[in-house]
Amino acid sequence: IVRSKQYLVTQKPVDLALGYRNPHGYGFCFALRRSIQEGVTSHFKGRAVMTDDKSTMSSTEEDLENIGIFRICPSLKPYKDHFKYRMKRYVDQKKLIEEYEGGLEEFAQATFPVYRNSVYGRWEAQIIGDFNGWDGSNHQIKNQFGVWSIKIPDTDGNSAIPHNSRVKFRFRHGDGVWVDRISAWIKYATPYDGVYWDPPLSERYQFKYPRPPKPKTPRIYEAHVGMSSSEPRINSYREFADEILPHIWANNYNTVQLMAVMEHSYYASFGYHVTNFFAVSSRSTPEDLKYPIDKAHSLGLQVLMDVIHSLASNNVTDGLNGFDVGQTSQDSYFHTGDRGYHKLWDSRLFNYANWEVLRFLLSNLRWWLHELKFDGFRFDGVTSMLYHHHGINIVFTGDYNEYFSEATDVVLYILPDATVIAEDVSGMPGLGQPVSDGGIGFDYRLAMAIPDKWIDYLKNKNDYAWSMKEISWSLTNRRYTEKCVSYAESHDQMIHFITMALGGEGYLNFMGNEFGHPEWIDFPREGNGWSNEKCRLCCLSEIYVIILFLELVQFMNAFDRAMNLLDDNFSFLASTKQIVSSADDDDKVNMLPNDCYIVFERGDLIFVFNFHPENTYEGYKVGCDLPGKYRVVLDSDAWEFGGHGRVRSPNLSGDGYG
């Protein structure tokens, strides 16, 4: 499908057909219509070698001997051979992409200049839809090495396929049966139908605001747009932008993370069972999604997207799984057999060694960054991507042998200007280190053990059994120089605050936790009569009314705002200075048995937390790095946060103790 020439006024269209074949006889090809600026030429070669277990290109031994991660963590040196193997695989693959594709940027530009689909096998294929009365006999699709493509010229300056009309990919495989599927590269889809999305200029949303600067540290507000309404219905992107984004900005967050953006047929999957990877969730449209992203940028908020590349929906009719019709793993998006199926998630697992799968996933990332203007990603299920066992029934104890073995299957991404966060439960060393140092290249790791620890305490321990040592250890147990984003599924002010202040170099709050959302979230499903009653953010769209009239919500929301403002003013999350001076269950300085205090310094601030369920103290001594006068800058016991106002003195002083 070629866009109308009015969109290519300053460019020349060039048709390229690039072929790839590896020594094992597997081949991949795609037909691509590229638009190349005047004076720019393409330097691609027509053949490339696929890397599976071995590579024909290698990096120098000197480079592999001087891997930077060993300077940071010498205890990893016994696993040097593993790091060398991993780095060599990455360097060789990158060289192949650079030599035969022109680089990662070019490799990841296969989006939608032609109607294309990656299906492997000796089959017939057609494009069908409303535009040809669902008769594809005159629109046969060419197959070159498993990638099918067709170019349909415009008619009198109008697209041959009307905007917002239904379209599908039809193919006939070995048993002679014709099968209809939604294209893997479709940009918009409704349940069981692909939709050709190419609105005229007059109907396209035009971005008005530039991306905001990347913050020193992310303070993230995680949101599910569909459940952000106060009413029992699915909220729209535009309503979210107008009703919720102002609240996020007012509470001093600097980043919004959107869940369930990619199309997923089953709403109750929370967006994790993706059926169409390039398509915006069908609950709204691509143009509608651009509006909240642009508005967030106007407020100085970065926008991250939950991206699901660890799995794909098991659906056949409307998902990628529908293209798996018994071919080999090398000829499919997924591994075959048990290796290609995640039993706990009831989903398919990608074959990352497949050249076209890499193109598909990297192009997918580029699409969301460049076309929709997202500023980065939180990668879901990274543990499943890192290991052949996918973390199923595995308990990670921290033993390095759990990380560096044949069970590891590392996927490395390079996204120079994006913020990338990994959801990993294993604690893989190097996950947050630069690729150039032997790491995997994520900016942050989501500190998933922290909310689990708080849930364990709240469910299983009475208030007198809380261990200050264990709490402080759980919050500080992260690898040196590898940044973490901490979070807690709780409505407790102190849990939120100490998690933010001690748990990482970034902070995340799921919508509603900031004001004590009273409802348990339950998506529409058969068990609740497909009701949206519990799948909504109770009264958040009326947050300012609530703040005026409900004291509890007012106090919690005010403290959440103050926490974020504190980091705005003092940048303590970005500080590498972190000293825990007291986390004993018995305070030997103040001669207090069964004490429940945690005291630490972060940047220029001293934090003092009293977790005792009953006792309050006067004249309590705390250690500090620098002597001098200290002033109280945030007090959870202040009147404005619903406290008793017991910390009345604005200034504290001392020599070594404050």
Tell me if residue 103 falls in helix, strand or coil.
Answer: coil
As a whole number of angstroms, the distance between CA 203 and CA 201 comes to: 5
Tokens of 288: 């509608």
User: What is the DSSP-derived secondary structure letter of residue 138?
Assistant: T
Exposure string over 100-116, b if 16+ CB within 10 A, otherwise e: bbbebebbbbbbbbbbb
As a whole number of angstroms, the distance between CA 232 and CA 135 comes to: 41
What is 576-654's CATH topology? Answer: Immunoglobulin-like (2.60.40)
* pLDDT at site 114: 38
The percentage of residues in the chain with a pLDDT greater than 70, rounded to a whole number, is 79
Helix/strand number for the chain, H first, E second: 14, 28
Tokens of 347: 């989903």
**Which residues neighbour 554 within 8 Å (Cβ) at sequence distance 6 or greater?**
546, 547, 548, 642
As a whole number of angstroms, the distance between CA 432 and CA 576 comes to: 15
Q: 317 pLDDT exceeds 70?
A: yes
Q: Which amino acid is at 630?
A: Y
Which of 233-237, 366-370, 525-529 bottoms out in mean pLDDT, i.e. has the lowest?
525-529
**Which residues neighbour 102 within 8 Å (Cβ) at sequence distance 6 or greater?**
42, 43, 44
Tell me if residue 228 falls in helix, strand or coil.
Answer: coil
The percentage of residues in the chain with a pLDDT greater than 90, rounded to a whole number, is 40
Predicted confidence band of residue 399 (pLDDT cuts 50, 70, 90): confident
Tell me if residue 49 falls in helix, strand or coil.
Answer: coil
Q: What is the pLDDT of residues 278-314, one digit of tens each?
A: 999 988 899 999 999 999 999 999 999 999 999 998 8
What is the pLDDT averaged over residues 562-576?
96
Tell me if residue 145 falls in helix, strand or coil.
Answer: coil
Mean pLDDT of the chain: 80
Residue 246 has phi, psi (to 5 degrees) of: -60, -35
* Strands, E assignment, 372-514: 376-379, 419-422, 444-446, 484-487, 506-510
Tokens of 408: 């590891």
* pLDDT at site 331: 75
Region(s) of the chain under CATH 2.60.40.1180:
576-654
* pLDDT at site 478: 92
As a whole number of angstroms, the distance between CA 641 and CA 635 comes to: 8
Tell me if residue 562 falls in helix, strand or coil.
Answer: helix
* pLDDT at site 652: 58
Which of 92-101, 217-226, 251-260, 534-543 bottoms out in mean pLDDT, i.e. has the lowest?
534-543
Predicted confidence band of residue 10 (pLDDT cuts 50, 70, 90): very low
As a whole number of angstroms, the distance between CA 4 and CA 91 comes to: 40
Q: Could you tell me which of 312, 367, 303, 365 has the C-alpha nearest to residue 335? A: 312
As a whole number of angstroms, the distance between CA 232 and CA 517 comes to: 15
As a whole number of angstroms, the distance between CA 512 and CA 538 comes to: 8
Q: What is the pLDDT of residues 14-39, one digit of tens each?
A: 222 222 222 222 222 222 222 222 22
* pLDDT at site 405: 59
As a whole number of angstroms, the distance between CA 349 and CA 389 comes to: 11
Who wins on pLDDT, 132 or 7?
A: 132
Burial class (CB in 10 A: 0-12, 13-18, 19+), 81: exposed
Kindly report the number of other CB atoms within 10 A of residue 552's CB atom: 13
Q: 47 pLDDT exceeds 70?
A: no
* pLDDT at site 590: 55
User: What is the DSSP-derived secondary structure letter of residue 155?
Assistant: B
Strands 262-263 and 276-280 turn out to be antiparallel
* pLDDT at site 241: 96
What is the pLDDT averaged over residues 154-165?
88
Tokens of 332: 């499919």
Q: Could you tell me which of 372, 242, 362 has the C-alpha nearest to residue 305? A: 372
Q: 528 pLDDT exceeds 70?
A: yes
Q: 59 pLDDT exceeds 60?
A: no
**Which residues neighbour 466 within 8 Å (Cβ) at sequence distance 6 or greater?**
457, 596, 611
Predicted confidence band of residue 651 (pLDDT cuts 50, 70, 90): low
Q: 398 pLDDT exceeds 80?
A: no
Q: How much is the pTM?
A: 0.85
Tell me which residue has tokens 């900016």: 443
As a whole number of angstroms, the distance between CA 117 and CA 104 comes to: 20
* pLDDT at site 518: 63
As a whole number of angstroms, the distance between CA 434 and CA 444 comes to: 11
Q: 657 pLDDT exceeds 60?
A: no
Q: 620 pLDDT exceeds 50?
A: yes
> 441: left (phi > 0), else alpha (psi -120 to 50), else beta?
left
Q: What is the pLDDT of residues 374-389, one digit of tens each?
A: 999 999 999 888 888 8
User: What is the DSSP-derived secondary structure letter of residue 287?
Assistant: H
As a whole number of angstroms, the distance between CA 343 and CA 333 comes to: 18
Q: 653 pLDDT exceeds 80?
A: no
Tell how far CA 135 is from the center of its chain. 40
Q: Could you tell me which of 311, 312, 293, 295 has the C-alpha nearest to residue 376? A: 293
What is the pLDDT averaged over residues 360-380?
92
* Residue 340 near residue 351 (C-beta atoms within 8 A): yes
Active-site positions?
Answer: 380, 423
What is the pLDDT averaged over residues 459-472?
92
Q: What is the pLDDT of residues 145-157, one digit of tens each?
A: 666 778 888 888 8
Q: What is the pLDDT of residues 600-616, one digit of tens each?
A: 999 999 999 999 888 88
Residue 519 to residues 226, 537, 540, Cα–Cα distance (Å)? 16, 8, 12
- The sign of the CA dihedral 5, 11, 15, 20 is negative
Tell me how long the chain is. Answer: 658
Q: Could you tell me which of 333, 349, 441, 445 has the C-alpha nearest to residue 392? A: 349
Residue 470 to residues 223, 388, 399, 477, 598, Cα–Cα distance (Å)? 30, 32, 20, 10, 11
* pLDDT at site 250: 96
Residue 572 to residues 128, 506, 548, Cα–Cα distance (Å)? 57, 10, 31
Predicted confidence band of residue 505 (pLDDT cuts 50, 70, 90): very high
Kindly report the number of other CB atoms within 10 A of residue 520's CB atom: 6
User: What is the DSSP-derived secondary structure letter of residue 178?
Assistant: E
Q: Could you tell me which of 145, 144, 198, 123 has the C-alpha nearest to residue 167? A: 198
Q: Could you tell me which of 506, 358, 493, 490 has the C-alpha nearest to residue 420? A: 506
- The sign of the CA dihedral 555, 556, 557, 558 is positive
Tell how far CA 119 is from the center of its chain. 27
* pLDDT at site 600: 95
Q: Could you tell me which of 525, 521, 514 has the C-alpha nearest to residue 536? A: 521
As a whole number of angstroms, the distance between CA 538 and CA 34 comes to: 48
* pLDDT at site 111: 56
Tell me which residue has tokens 């992409």: 97
